[in-house]
Amino acid sequence: MTQRNQRYLGAAFWLAAVGAAATWMLAGHAQPGGADAAAEINASPASLIMDSLWSPTESIEVSDPTGALRVGDVAFSRQSDRWQEVGYITSVRQVDQSANRLTLSLFDRSVWTPAATLRVHRNSGRIGDVMETLLPPQKRERLQQKLAAAFEAHADAVASEILPLIVSSIGASVPLIEIGVEESIARHRAEIDTLVKRYREEIVREKLVPLVREEVMPIVRRHAAEPAEAIGREIWDKASLWRFGWRAVYDQTPLPERALVATEWSRFVDEEVTPILEAHLEEIATAVEEIAKEIAANENVRDELAETATTIASDPEARHLLRIILRESIVDNEQLRQAWTDVWSSPAAKERLRRAGERLEPILRETGDELMGTREHGIEPGFARVLRNQVLSKDRTWITITSGEGTAPAGEPVAMQRATEFMPYPVVYLAQ
């Protein structure tokens, strides 16, 4: 074969290869129809590149008050009941410390009119955005109904397996927590005494004592004076000054028998005072009830006690000390941790958990399939979005173009708005 023929053959080969590659890339975005075909676009990046290379573009100057958009971020427009890529950011610059100025290149001129509204959307990658992506409202409601039905069907059986373990754990934990709290308080006695002394000066003497004197004592006198006076008169009538008097004198003498006053007082309390108080128990209970009701209804008392509780709760020193005591008595309590380990890792506990898991496993597996997808139907679109966002740091910011009311003056860049409602990334990129 001559050199000229070799050149012709090589040129023909490369022309055929380029034509085949172009045909494959242009057809790469075709997907079989399905339930989600109207809502999602399984687009080939190569097809988007090829479309943009041979499509006429129009550049629009826009201002980005969010400062989140970067070169390459994509613009979408809703057409034929689905979102389509219509442009992308080609340059970003800042002018006089104001909002970023961007150049938005559109390869679909029909989506842009002076009345269009541009919104900036951002997926921060936080747990809230992840849950919104994985569980849109309709799917969330469907899964809630399934889970509620499953737990209602198996609630009694699962509870009969789990509750004994919880009861055993609590029974083993309470005494250990009590011991831990006592030991922690003993270790921090000096700090507690310092706080109590400060509160005694700042709260008890300055706030609570005046509150009791001005608000509580008048209420107590109003309801307790009458039964107290009646009881006092009866006790006085029963008291014998002669019996107490000569015994007091006798106790001061050097005679061998002493403590006659104490003996007489014990007899007086048992035989005279106690019957009188028992006879007036109903009046005492009524007075105490009325006092409690009026104190609870007193706005000054409520406000002062609430302010006192807030003062103590917001005290940095008290909160720090409380956190230390709780951590030492619960979180760092090795005996408590060992008790829970013994309960939940015992053979009986493992058998109970196995039986409970067998009842819940089908619905949990079904929930996992709904969230992540299956081998038969592929990756679920929401899960694909989360993977690209979390693992590859893709699809973080984008623009949507919708009909609206243009507000930019002539000659000024179009001002984009920050999206107030979350929406998932409009396009789902899946392997062909």
**Mean pLDDT along residues 311-328:** 87
Strongest mean pLDDT among 205-209, 214-218, 232-236, 332-336? 332-336
Q: Could you read off the pLDDT of 271-287 as tens digits, one per residue?
A: 777 887 888 788 888 88
Question: Who contacts 385 (Cβ-Cβ below 8 Å, separation ≥6)?
Answer: 133, 395, 424, 425, 428
**Mean pLDDT along residues 289-307:** 85
**Mean pLDDT along residues 60-67:** 83
| Three-state DSSP class for residue 5 | helix
How much helix, strand and coil, in percent to the nearest 5, is found in the chain? 65, 15, 25
What pLDDT score was predicted for residue 422? 87
Q: Are 261 and 251 in contact (CB under 8 A)?
A: yes
Q: Half-sphere exposure of 232 toward its Cβ, with a 13 Å CA cutoff?
A: 6
Q: What percent of the chain has pLDDT over 70?
A: 77
Q: Could you read off the pLDDT of 69-99 as tens digits, one per residue?
A: 888 898 998 887 788 888 888 888 876 666 7
Q: Could you read off the pLDDT of 9-53 as tens digits, one per residue?
A: 666 666 776 666 656 554 544 444 333 333 344 444 545 555 555
Q: Are 360 and 147 in contact (CB under 8 A)?
A: no
Q: Which amino acid, one-letter code, is at 344?
A: W
Buried b (16+ CB within 10 A) or exposed e, 62-77: bbbeeebbeeebbbbb
What pLDDT score was predicted for residue 1? 57
Question: What angle in degrees, to the nearest 10, is found between the helix axes of 45-53 and 3-26?
Answer: 110
Considering only 9-13, 164-168, 198-202, 377-381, which range has the smallest mean pLDDT? 9-13
- pLDDT reading at 362 higher than 60: yes
- pLDDT reading at 406 higher than 60: no
Average pLDDT, the chain: 78
What pLDDT score was predicted for residue 356? 85
What confidence category does residue 155 fall into, taking pLDDT thresholds of 50, 70 and 90?
confident
